[in-house]
Amino acid sequence: MHCHYLLAKKIDQAVHPQHIQAYLDCQSKK
């Protein structure tokens, strides 16, 4: 799984909590 949080943020300023959670989960797996 890739961390697309920054990419998603660039595309859509309204980042959904689901995206944030997925990003945090990805970061914790590093």
Q: What is the pLDDT of residue 1?
A: 46
Q: What is the pLDDT of residue 18?
A: 77
Does the pTM surpass 0.85? The reply is no
The rounded distance, in Å, linking the Cα atoms of 17 and 12 is: 13
Q: Is the dihedral of CA 5, 8, 4, 21 positive or negative?
A: positive
Per-residue pLDDT reduced to its tens digit, 1-30: 456 656 655 656 666 777 778 778 877 876
CB neighbours of 19 closer than 8 A, spacing ≥ 6?
4, 5, 8
